[in-house]
Every structure is written in structure tokens, then in C-alpha cells.
Amino acid sequence: MTASTILSAVRQPLATALSGVTANVFAYVPENVPVPAVVLVPSSPYLEFDTIGNSTFRCKVNFTISCCVTYSSNPASLDNIEQLIESVVLAIPSGYEIGDVQRPSVTTVGASTLLVADIGVSTHYTRTL
């Protein structure tokens, strides 16, 4: 039996759950961001070791889910990102801790100006065989 990985046990289930959101979902940082977009990236600290023992690899895994929408008019963009945040939070499966949502900020990616808000998400991973 193949050993589990963080990708198979944590990242992929989260990405699969988020795929139901009406946005482009990325499990990595894309070169171009086709909005609306949801980007799953490691947070810092990425891995925390908070359980006793060393018989197998166990850790708390921290992610940031970046929600990105087009920044054109402020009221419309804020409404769009709030709706995207709502749908992302509702899509996060059980077993994942949902942290705070950081204040939306305006970010320029290439020629695009985006409104971006980050959601902190954490879960625990145990390597299994």
C-alpha cells in the first residue's frame, strides 16, 4: 500500500472541495490569475509539530486560501470578494480549521489589478501506510 502524502491526504481533498466554487481554483500560485480565482498556498509556519511521539510523521498543516476578484469599482469588487469568501468558507470540508480572513488588499499581478483577501486554513496530517 502506498504511503499517504500531504498532497493526497490534505491538499487534494481541499482543492477538490473548493472546485465547487464558481472561480478558478489553483493548488499553486499561477503565473497569471484569471479572476475570479481561489489560490491555495502554504502559510507560515507551514508545518507545526504539536503531537507527542515520533513513530510516524504527524503535523499541523497551515494554508492560506487567497480569494481574488477583479478590482474595478470598489463597492462591486468588495461585494464580489465577500461573496467569493462566503462560498469558499462554505466549501471547506470538515476537519479543517478556518482562521481569520485578512483585510482585502489591492494587488497588481501583471496587467491586472486584483482585490485579494486571504483565509487561513489548518488541519492535521498523519502519515499512514
Q: Which residues bind other proteins (CB under 8 A)?
A: 49-56, 58, 97-100, 122, 124, 126
The distance of closest approach from Cβ of residue 56 to other proteins in the complex, given in angstroms and rounded to an integer, is 8
Specify the residue, 31 or 100, whose C-beta has the smaller distance to other proteins. 100
Specify the residue, 2 or 54, whose C-beta has the smaller distance to other proteins. 54
Are the C-beta atoms of residues 127 and 4 closer than 8 Å to each other? Answer: yes
Residue in 40, 102, 117, 39 with CA at minimum distance from that of residue 71? 117
Specify the residue, 51 or 73, whose C-beta has the smaller distance to other proteins. 51
Q: What are phi and psi of 32, to 5 degrees?
A: -115, 145
The distance of closest approach from Cβ of residue 92 to other proteins in the complex, given in angstroms and rounded to an integer, is 12
Query: Could you give the count of Cα atoms lying within 13 Å of 114 in the half-sphere of its Cβ?
Result: 21
